[in-house]
Chains A and B, each alone.
Chain A
């Protein structure tokens, strides 16, 4: 049996009062983990990417523990994944277009024209083509969120980790954003694997999420 794209095995984020995260994100599924700030789930994305070490347990991405890899190997591995950090993390001194092109310029051997072409396609898909020459501080929260999502999808990754992706945007915009992130069609089995880590999933999005976990009273529970 092949490894799940993402597996949290007995992961404890911090001190003992934090819940034990024990779940997996199956291939081509969208999984959400919902909880408040005290639950410590804000660190799950960073733990999965090997940016911080868990207090106990381990997170495996396609069977690999990134925190156990060398820095160079972990960096190369992360380029295969899509990551939307909670505070979008767009470089303030770059335009949105340059922000989206950056991972491609750094991690691919595409020509500059191919990168610009791909950047244009992704920006059009997320309907931010008009803002390509603007800097993050010059656009709205929604456009920033779309740009950060576009950047996370730059490499067309199979697995995408979204941290608080719906903060500050409308339910409609959130649904559209999630549909773009997932891509493809279920019948073709080509949809991306998505982990959403958030404090709140808008009601309209519930149907778009395949598996939902919630931290209740310090315990991670599967929602039905």
Chain B
């Protein structure tokens, strides 16, 4: 009789514990920012540059292709269908709300979580399994400074940059789709720019920072939480990507609820 309640209680306790552990890690990363030795800054800057290169710049072609295809498909069909109803000006709202505000940040975050979150978690789990984290601590280097901080900041910067790339390519691709369906460039940009609001700008910034934080935090947590055996590496990667995707979707819902 009590067994199901105990099971539910255990699940809830596990989730609360996980959220607490993530919050603690986030707090420690913020503190680590303040305690970074002056001499270590040049190393952290170098790792950060590498991280942004791998996470943001190498992902630009993939993000651009996804954005271009998605925007072209949506806008070319919308122009035709809305044209029949005499409501082509609604494509501005469609581009801004559906693509720029919602799908852009969501898809970008999912791509980064799948592509770089797994890499981050498996790399950190390998660091643990190979005794590298213990060696760093033994040399007087805080793993939070050397391994986590640059990855965390790199994830935030990368997601933000890639969301902007996604939006720019989506608007450009939408223009191509609209033009090929007979809409003039002036009309297209008038509609799209008219539909953009200040809220869209700050939402892009807020989502970039929030989703970047999730992608910097969740894989770092699962990567570090391993027990130091090589069989934990794929488990950490899998948990990191599942946890990140779940968190990104939940936070998307929160954003919609807050801004409605």
Chain A residues close to B by CB (< 8 Å): 45-46, 49, 51, 71-72, 75-79, 81, 83, 85-93, 102-103, 105-109, 112, 148, 151
The yes or no answer to B141 lying at the interface (CB within 8 A) is: yes
A102-B43, A105-B43, A109-B38 given; A78·B137 CB < 8 A: yes
**Is B138's CB under 8 angstroms from A105's CB?**
no
Q: List 16 A-B residue pairs with CB atoms under 8 Å apart, sorted by A's residue number.
A: A46-B138, A49-B138, A75-B137, A78-B138, A79-B139, A83-B138, A85-B134, A87-B130, A88-B131, A90-B135, A103-B139, A105-B42, A106-B37, A106-B145, A107-B37, A109-B38
Given the complex, which residues of B lie within 8 Å of A103, measured CB to CB?
139-141
* Residue-wise interface mask of B (125-143) relative to A, using a CB-CB cutoff of 8 A (1 in contact, 0 not): 0110011101111111110
Residue from B35, B37, B126, B130 within 8 A of A89 (CB atoms): B130
* Residue-wise interface mask of B (47-61) relative to A, using a CB-CB cutoff of 8 A (1 in contact, 0 not): 000000000000000
CB distance from B136 to the nearest CB of A (A): 8
A49, B134: Cα distance in complex, Å: 11
Interface of B is mostly: helix
A76, A89, A151, most chain B CB atoms within 10 A: A89
A45, B138: Cα distance in complex, Å: 9
**Is A151's CB under 8 angstroms from B139's CB?**
yes
* Residue-wise interface mask of B (107-139) relative to A, using a CB-CB cutoff of 8 A (1 in contact, 0 not): 000000000000000010011001110111111
Number of B interface residues at 8 Å Cβ cutoff, please give it: 24
CB distance from A89 to the nearest CB of B (A): 2
Give 14 new A-B contacts, CB below 8 A, not counting A51-B134, A106-B140.
A45-B138, A72-B35, A75-B140, A76-B37, A76-B140, A85-B131, A85-B138, A93-B123, A103-B139, A103-B141, A105-B42, A106-B139, A106-B141, A112-B42
A89-B131, A90-B132, A91-B132 given; A77·B138 CB < 8 A: no
Given the complex, which residues of B lie within 8 Å of A77, measured CB to CB?
140
**Is B130's CB under 8 angstroms from A83's CB?**
no
Given the complex, which residues of B lie within 8 Å of A75, measured CB to CB?
137, 140-142
**Is B138's CB under 8 angstroms from A89's CB?**
yes
Given the complex, which residues of B lie within 8 Å of A89, measured CB to CB?
130-132, 134-136, 138
Given the complex, which residues of B lie within 8 Å of A93, measured CB to CB?
123
Given the complex, which residues of A lie within 8 Å of B3, measured CB to CB?
none
What are the 8 closest A-B residue pairs judged by CB atoms, nearest first? A89-B135, A79-B140, A78-B140, A83-B138, A87-B131, A106-B40, A89-B131, A103-B139
The yes or no answer to B146 lying at the interface (CB within 8 A) is: yes
CB distance from A163 to the nearest CB of B (A): 9
**Is A86's CB under 8 angstroms from B140's CB?**
no
A83-B138, A103-B140 given; A109·B131 CB < 8 A: no
A51, A78, A85, most chain B CB atoms within 10 A: A85
**Is A102's CB under 8 angstroms from B141's CB?**
yes
A75, B146: Cα distance in complex, Å: 13
CB distance from B54 to the nearest CB of A (A): 11
A79, B131: Cα distance in complex, Å: 18
**Is A92's CB under 8 angstroms from B132's CB?**
yes
Given the complex, which residues of B lie within 8 Å of A106, measured CB to CB?
37, 39-40, 43, 139-141, 145-146
**Is A85's CB under 8 angstroms from B135's CB?**
yes
Within 8 A of A (CB), among B27-41: 35, 37-40
A51, B137: Cα distance in complex, Å: 7
Given the complex, which residues of A lie within 8 Å of B137, measured CB to CB?
49, 51, 75, 78
